[in-house]
Structure 1
């Protein structure tokens, strides 16, 4: 599974940064996110880029203000969207079981679980620890706050865990992002919050927040290829978008990317051509001139673009443009 994450996680954070009057351009660039993140219709973004965004957000705002912004983004966007799918759950345990399935859609390679631990349970996420990744601890901070905010929203309480586990070897940088009464246990196999057994069996009544009208229910239908398309689409018009660059974006080897594409009957060139054709089609449908679209997607001439577009779609770009005059 490619390391990608639902794009709402990044766009909600960036939206709140902009509301505070912060110029997010440099932060987007430093994180490795696509510069047109607001315009892209992608469903997934590279996971590493979102982790880096968390890191630069905390470095810019500090622990207290960074945490305040992250919690606002969670409460405004991420948590309500998850709650909307929990209306048939009767206990916290049932709700968290369903949350795990939903998170596996939003962060496909995640290993989230609810398992017994001592006299309670641990609601946790396990990720391969990269000791060279300075953004890893901020991903743990974000993970813990997602868990806490979800449980607070589901139980309609101000619940806080008495103890949390983290994978990082040192938790000194993240302790300041949480209330002082929470005990941290570092260097564990997974990151998570300890939940009392009695709380899990507690009856709940989900308060549903209306979803945005333009939000689509992406469900469980995104497979490896659709995730790859979504993650790579914002980058495909880069000057040097080749197999090596694509593999770098989604954090796999070139050989792995080729093999996985081959398993789905597609080559890298076909993937790249299809992505470019998709972007071109979108621009044509918005009324852009064929000549302008040809330049936008990197072709030296209109005739070259027209031949390529017709080969992929079966239609001449001029016919698409005429339909939308």
Structure 2
């Protein structure tokens, strides 16, 4: 059996390294020592082995206090990880329902699938992942990064002051690091076979109010353009609550401002909605769903209207795209 090589999304790796290079130019030397692969410098897409990034983290940990490390980790998480995940989570009645989409969102955002949400008899739920990366000192930082990611995603679901009631983790050395990251007054369980963050039933039942505007529009480089940002938001709500008034309210703009900004990019809300529709329809077609079911799910009263809109965006009818 071939060992699985742990990977990290290239955009995350670059954001992590960039953050610390901006902090101190002398960290270039640490990046070189970490032996980043050539693909790190040649591409902006795909994945690279996580080991060089773990080495980089370990070198940084020997140089900086833990509070500086965690502060910069959280900034990277907020800028690149949280937006990647939140835009794939569907509209839901409450945070618990939204988190049920987290594993599939993680897969689309990172390619990583071993994540699950597990509920207990009290209604609390654990957002957890297997910990396959071994027990070396360097992998400690991957586990810390995972815990911080889980917490920041739940905060972005509409709980800005979220604090888990329990954290389970593999590395026993993680306990003092978590205490240094303001995760205090929480039950910490080390030596566990998984990494998990436990949210209370009370928090889980609160309304799902994703911080879409913060995720998509406040940080440069998250998404390439304003138009693509709006497409990502509309794609979340397509077929349910995707009127221009509803979307404008979600991103904290007036309808008129949204129309003006889209016009400045040479497009319109109708075109944006159709792009979002096509993006949502493509996986449905590949899954073998009927045109009638897809049309209904995407808010079209007639199949012919869906077909025309899909063809305007893609240049081909749904049937050809399905079989292509």
Question: How far, CA to CA, are the matches of 1:42 and 1:163 in structure 2?
Answer: 35
Aligned to 1:79: 82
TM-score by length of 2: 0.59
Unmatched runs of 5 consecutive residues or more in structure 1: 218-325
Is the partner of 1:37 in helix, strand or coil? helix
Aligned to 2:139: 136
Aligned to 2:207: 203
- Note the C-alpha offset of 1:34: 2.5
Aligned to 2:247: none
Question: How far, CA to CA, are the matches of 1:178 and 1:58 in structure 2?
Answer: 14
Aligned partner (choices 10, 15, 21) of residue 13 of structure 2: 10
- Note the C-alpha offset of 1:55: 2.4
Unmatched runs of 5 consecutive residues or more in structure 2: 232-324
Question: How far, CA to CA, are the matches of 1:104 and 1:98 in structure 2?
Answer: 10
Question: How far, CA to CA, are the matches of 2:9 and 2:55 in structure 1?
Answer: 15
Question: How far, CA to CA, are the matches of 1:53 and 1:95 in structure 2?
Answer: 34
TM-score by length of 1: 0.59
Aligned partner (choices 116, 120, 132) of residue 117 of structure 1: 120
Question: How far, CA to CA, are the matches of 2:121 and 2:143 in structure 1?
Answer: 22
Aligned partner (choices 116, 126, 130) of residue 126 of structure 1: 130
- Note the C-alpha offset of 1:12: 1.3
Is the partner of 1:64 in helix, strand or coil? helix
Is the partner of 2:157 in helix, strand or coil? helix
- Note the C-alpha offset of 1:54: 2.7
Question: How far, CA to CA, are the matches of 2:62 and 2:164 in structure 1?
Answer: 25
Listed as ranges, the matches of 1:302-317 within 5 Å are: none
Question: How far, CA to CA, are the matches of 2:176 and 2:138 in structure 1?
Answer: 11
Is the partner of 2:56 in helix, strand or coil? helix
- Note the C-alpha offset of 1:128: 2.5
Figure out how many residues of one structure are paired with residues of the other and give that number.
216
Aligned to 1:243: none
Aligned to 2:106: 103
